[in-house]
Amino acid sequence: MSKSRGLQEPSFLILTSLAHEPQHGYGIITDVERISQGEVRLRAGTLYAALDRLQSEGLIAEDREEIVDGRLRRYYRLTGEGGLRLAEEAARLQRNARTAVTRLRTRQAGGIA
């Protein structure tokens, strides 16, 4: 287990991608690009390093392996701990976003606006 500090956006989106159902590495890359509306394109280096790290932290686990067209597909799934963690992080993001929006609305001019 680990000490759980804040998740970066790529890691958050990887967990999100696994929240509905298990996926394999390359599937996560395309899924993350889709759910972020093309804004986040995971690099292979980022993905597989993150997968190893998240697994060693107990947030995800290997689900199964398949071979399709001679290519290996290694599926990962969210663990119970990973689900809790993702829910916590989502709540944090929502709170941060809400605070920012509220403060932007009640803005007071500083010096020169």
Partner DNA sequence: TTCGCATATGCCGACCATCGGTATATAAAG
Partner DNA sequence: CTTTATATACCGATGGTCGGCATATGCGAA
Q: In the set 33, 36, 58, 73, which binds its own copies (CB under 8 A)?
A: 36
Verify binding: residue 38, its own copies, rule CB under 8 A.
Answer: no
| Euclidean distance between CA atoms 62 and 87, whole angstroms | 21
User: Site residues for its own copies, window 52-71 (CB under 8 A)?
Assistant: 61, 63-64
4 contact choice in its own copies, DNA, none (CB below 5 to 8 Å, kind-dependent): none
| Euclidean distance between CA atoms 47 and 18, whole angstroms | 13
How many Cβ atoms sit within 10 Å of the Cβ of residue 37? Answer: 7
Residues touching DNA: how many (CB under 7 A)? Answer: 30
90 vs 7, 47, 113, CA distance in Å?
10, 20, 33
Verify binding: residue 44, DNA, rule CB under 7 A.
Answer: yes
Is residue 26 within 8 Å of residue 33, measured between CB atoms? no
Q: In the set 1, 37, 38, 70, which binds DNA (CB under 7 A)?
A: 70
- Chain residues in the site for DNA (CB under 7 A): 5, 7-11, 24-27, 30, 40, 42-46, 48-53, 68-74
